[in-house]
Chain A
Amino acid sequence: MTSPSSPLPAETGASDAACSVDGRATAAEVDASCRWPLLLLFTSGVCWLVFGTVLALIAAIKLHKGDFLADTSWLTLGRIRPASMNSFLYGFASQVGMGVLLWMMCRLGHVRLFFQWPVMVAWKLWNIGVTVGVLAILLGGSTGFEWLEMPRYAAGILFAAYAMVGVCAVATFTMRRVCEVYPSQWYLLAALFWFPWIYSAANYLLVLDPVRGTMQAAVNAWFAGNFAGLWLTPLGLAGVFYFLPRLTGQSLHSRELAAFGFWTLAFFTNFSGLTGLIGGPVPRWMPAVSTAATVCLLVAVVSNGLNWYLTCRAGCTSGQSNSWKTDSIFGFVRLGALAYLVHGVVSAVMSIPQVAAVTNFTYATVARNNLLLHGFIGMVLFGCLYYIIPRLVQVKWPNEKWIRVHLLCSLVGVALLFLGLGLGGVLQGFKLARPSVPFMDVVRGTVPFVGFSTLGVLLLLAGQLAFVANLAGLLRAFLTPICQSICGECCGGVPAAKAGAKS
């Protein structure tokens, strides 16, 4: 059964207080209320992304030429790799994701963002936390746990900042003026509760009061799997569920199918994190549970994919304008959605023990992570940014062509990263499994593939710089009149400028 549900759900006749039509904010009011906090979150998020990508580039160069920048302790390979990853995860993906989350909560609930100051304080705190954390990693203060490398003092700041955002977002959700809760909101609401749980539990069990022995590895894998699957993935999925119907001008194909996908994802993702421990020093049943869950997760992947496909197909056959097909924003979201689907299938295959025996400990796992982070999360978030930012500031992107350049660079970059490292990793795995191949030959064999990935990182960086240039132009166009009017007010300028400042 298909039920109509548009990105902006229709009114219903229920008498729920949340359904009251009174006080519904228009889209323009929502955007205006979100303007400053979200601009701050988005710009600093993108700065962290560029920073992280530059570090990733240095790391990639070091894999070709070990001597490169080798005399500086804080630029050693084992520090810049986690620093780069943390910049991406916490500086970019989480930060921009939180901004997108707040915006969607407001837009879908038809309610203004009432918590501008708390969000701006949280923005400040979050960036202090990420800065402290990344610096600590570079200075050797890493906790040593994957994706949780930031030391406890940075984690504490991050958690406090998140708590403020989380409370604001949940409050915004409860203030919604629309009865129907749209699938994007399910994912956002879930992410809001899942993230603090996994983050605090992992920090407690690994850093504050550590569990013993390989339980640490299990908790670490549980955390990293859930950070990707229950925090970043829901943020990305919320974006896809919001923008595919919105851009194609169709209502979502099936709300029931979306609900099915949501609950299957919610249940199975939980258990799917431990596939990296296949063959490792933990009881066998633990990674086995994760294998089963990762394979079962295909159900969610397929149902979401089907839902999106049917929605887009309805858009194609509806007889309305098909201009969305060539829209860059649609391009980003579509590629992100595709990356999510491919990642789901690849993860399922790589979780089978016979396959994992080959692919674990190789670049193939790095390739899979890159597909998730740069392919799915990065693409969808950029799609969101390209859509949201001009609406926040009421200024168009100065250069449409650079958006296309960014899209193309991202596409080719992610493809090079995924295919290059994936192929190199599988070959590496097969050679590792043959003891007759000397280890040095195994490692040397990966160098050409690492080369492809370096090129991929370079392309990603080029695309990101195109975005930054575009954003700089847009912000200049937006800020210049404001600055002028502020200057005018301070220095006793012309009355027209004063009027501009107040409007």
Chain B
Amino acid sequence: MMNNGAILFFGILLTLASSFWGLLLAPQLQIGRAQPVVLEGTGEIYPSPRPGLAQQGADVYRAQGCAECHTRQVRQTGVNFDLWLADAGTNTAALAATMNRLNIADPAKLIAQAPVKLLGGLNIAQASSLAGQLTNDESKAQAVLVTLGPDIQRGWGKRATVTQDYLYDHPVQLGSLRVGPDLANYGTRAVPALLALQHLYAPQSTMPKSMMPPYRYLFSKRKLVEGEKPRAGALPANVEPGYEVTPRPEAEALLAYLMSLKADAPLAEAPVPAPPVKVAPPAPAPAP
């Protein structure tokens, strides 16, 4: 059999065909046709296409090979639940008695601080059972989702990134090496634009231990005459004393792209932790 060219040929084709169906066609049917969804609560459509400048920036990101050192994905290892007292109501005595019964320390102080986290690290059954016991006519307790994982604890995102987050990207560059931090949520970190640009121009000036190479070729540099000040939009004078350093269009576009990186929309498959806030507590966080 192993001397027959035709049998070899069909075996060779069949084996690869198996993964062609199994790993390409099957996922294509599952996630390849995903469409933008309407977010519950806000009614926004997610994701929406990037604005033009950010779209150009995606091209700069690709061309410079940023993905060689930066990932754009947040891994989540699991979830657990916190028990929150959203609203203490007025019948605090009854509430304190229940809390005492449930071995929650210092009820009076906690009730005064509401909304406040009472317990952590629970599973959904424990958390909702406790929440039920603590909810009476006026007081309101709820189970609040907590996403887990080192990526999330490092502040790289509030939840795992999912297929939905990348619908409008081409190429999708998830990255495979973290020499630099993850960028999936760079846009949510509220980095001032000039500081971000300065980091591109001279990374070690904003982050002394950074391993990032400088991208000076994305900027133009002009010598200032004696006493002249750099114009608005230029990098701070101390970055390159005596020179005016202004971002080229590529740098502006890259910045717009980085600022557009936000994978924080609450999705059914990737809920975002939403602890209750004072005054108007929102609806309970959706169960996973």
Contact = CB atoms under 8 A, between A and B. Distances in A.
Interface string B170-185: 1111111111110000
B176 A76 contact: no
Contacts of B165: 281
Interface string B38-75: 00000000000000000000000011111111010101
A322 B240 CA distance: 68
B23 A271 contact: yes
Nearest to B169: A213
A281 B19 contact: no
B27 A286 contact: yes
A402 to B, nearest CB: 34
Interface of A: 18, 62-63, 66-68, 70-73, 76-79, 81-82, 140-146, 173-174, 179-181, 186, 189-190, 193-194, 197-198, 201, 205-206, 210-220, 222, 226, 230, 255, 259, 263, 266-267, 270-271, 273-274, 276-277, 279-283, 286, 289-290, 357, 360-363, 365-366, 428, 432-435, 439-441, 443-444, 446-447
B129 to A, nearest CB: 28
B222 interface: no
A76 B209 CA distance: 19
Contact of B9 (A189, A286, A433): A189
B213 A70 contact: yes
A70 B216 contact: yes
B239 interface: no
A173 B2 contact: no
Which one of A215, A259, A357, A434 has the highest number of Cβ atoms from chain B below 10 Å of its Cβ? A215
A198 B4 CA distance: 24
Contacts of B136: none
Which one of B16, B22, B167 has the highest number of Cβ atoms from chain A below 10 Å of its Cβ? B16
A145 B181 CA distance: 20
A283 B30 CA distance: 9
B31 A144 contact: no
Q: Could you tell me the dominant secondary structure of chain A's interface residues? A: helix
Interface string B1-35: 01111001101110110111011100110111110
Contacts of B75: 279-280, 357
Given A214-B172, A432-B150, A144 B62 contact: yes
Contacts of B15: 263, 266-267, 270
Nearest to A290: B23
Given A193-B13, A217-B174, A270-B19, A66 B213 contact: yes
Given A77-B65, A82-B68, A276-B176, A222 B23 contact: yes
Interface in B243-277: none
Contacts of A263: 11, 15
Number of chain B interface residues as a range: 35 or more
Given A215-B27, A271-B19, A76 B172 contact: no
B163 A213 contact: yes
A360 B149 CA distance: 14
A46 B65 CA distance: 26
13 contacts: A76-B215, A77-B68, A201-B24, A206-B171, A213-B32, A216-B171, A220-B172, A270-B22, A286-B23, A428-B178, A441-B209, A443-B180, A444-B211
Given A144-B173, A212-B167, A270 B16 contact: yes
A70 B214 contact: yes
A144 to B, nearest CB: 4
A259 B211 CA distance: 48
A439 B209 CA distance: 10
Interface stretch (B81-89, B100-108, B153-161): B153-161
Contacts of B63: 79, 140-142
Contacts of A186: 2, 8
A226 B23 CA distance: 12
A362 B180 CA distance: 11
Contacts of A444: 209, 211
B73 A140 contact: no
Contacts of A179: 3
Given A78-B69, A271-B22, A361 B176 contact: yes
A438 B156 CA distance: 13
Contact of A357 (B11, B77, B169): B77
Contacts of A267: 15, 18
A444 B164 CA distance: 34
A212 B66 CA distance: 21
B54 to A, nearest CB: 16
Contact of A281 (B11, B77, B163, B216): B163
B224 to A, nearest CB: 20
B2 A181 contact: yes
A267 B11 CA distance: 9
Contact of B68 (A81, A143, A270, A443): A81
B115 interface: no
Given A67-B214, A71-B216, A270-B18, A145 B171 contact: yes
Given A70-B216, A435-B154, A361 B178 contact: yes
Nearest to A286: B27
B273 to A, nearest CB: 16
Contact of A289 (B12, B22, B34, B209): B22
B190 interface: no
B162 interface: yes
A198 B16 contact: yes
A144 B173 CA distance: 7
Given A144-B62, A218-B27, A447-B211, 4 more contacts: A66-B204, A267-B15, A281-B73, A365-B177
A259 B3 CA distance: 11
B13 A78 contact: no
B203 A66 contact: yes
Which one of B34, B172, B214 has the highest number of Cβ atoms from chain A below 10 Å of its Cβ? B172
List the 9 shortest-distance A-B pairs measured between CB atoms, nearest first.
A78-B65, A270-B19, A140-B63, A144-B171, A435-B153, A279-B75, A66-B213, A440-B209, A144-B62
